[in-house]
Structure 1
């Protein structure tokens, strides 16, 4: 895996990077994950590409590349069974501040699939808030529902 692009913020620190698998790999010629850094330049969030990113499992739930409504139902049940709150972004993406997860969506050809974003503890509060939360606008600006 290698970085193919990085963006710097006003402070001069890298604020985000996109990674691909080796370009010679026919399996994933596109970005597999995007990472976001805090103001100190430390890793703060990772977004997994719905088409070619690695599968991530929570409990028994596959989180990457799923039909959003099916995963939303399972995620809701998972949180409820543990006494945790289910929150929604302004784009209706389900999230959990306790777990630091936002279940975003991404258009893949003619379908929409899940693109989970995982954030560090410091970014967990309001992680699903697209207007004032810590997840960078560049992530919210990617193709969504």
Structure 2
């Protein structure tokens, strides 16, 4: 059985696009990320090449080759909640392009004069904010899993070049 936290049971995180998400600031080193989560050592998360998984928190941290935080993925099932213009971004049904979440994001982008695009993976994205709304299979549902990036990755032309291979493995 898949555990999916309800919105009201999720930690609520603030987000400053291209700068920070929750307690994490883009550019932090791995030890600083662990410290932000109250871990005493780098071993707080499951560290692999280029990324670190904080499973208990529902957070995946991605690092540049120089070891600085460049992107944060939030688990659709257990990650903290994040909103954009009042739109919940984590754990929302996104099985189809016509889903309420995607339609609300389209409306928000239009209101704010932001460019809304679809990646070849079928994921909606707001490049100016460093946001890709990934999809994650959770039991029988397909739920939203935001990936938030720093400006160096979000403005790189082809986003797929910068998004680590591990992130593509979370697709439904």
Q: Same fold (TM over 0.5)?
A: yes
Q: Which has the higher contact order (CA 8 A, sep 6+)?
A: 2
**Partner of residue 165, structure 2:** 137
Equivalent residues in 2 for 1:45-124 (5 A)? 45-68=71-94, 69-124=99-154
What is the DSSP-based 3-state SS (H/G/I as helix, E as strand, rest coil) of the residue aligned with 1:75? Answer: helix
CA drift at 1:83: 1.1
**Partner of residue 62, structure 2:** 36
Q: In structure 1, what is the Cα distance between the partners aligned to 2:52 and 2:158? A: 20
In the comparison of the two structures, how many residue pairs are matched? Answer: 127
Which one of 3, 8, 16 corresponds to residue 51 of structure 2?
16
Over 6 Å off, 4+ runs: none
CA drift at 1:126: 4.9
Gaps of 5+ in 1: 9-14, 22-30
Change in 2 beyond 3 A, CA 1:56/1:75 = same
TM-score (norm 1): 0.81
**Partner of residue 10, structure 2:** none
CA drift at 1:129: 3.6
**Partner of residue 12, structure 1:** none
Higher helix share: 2
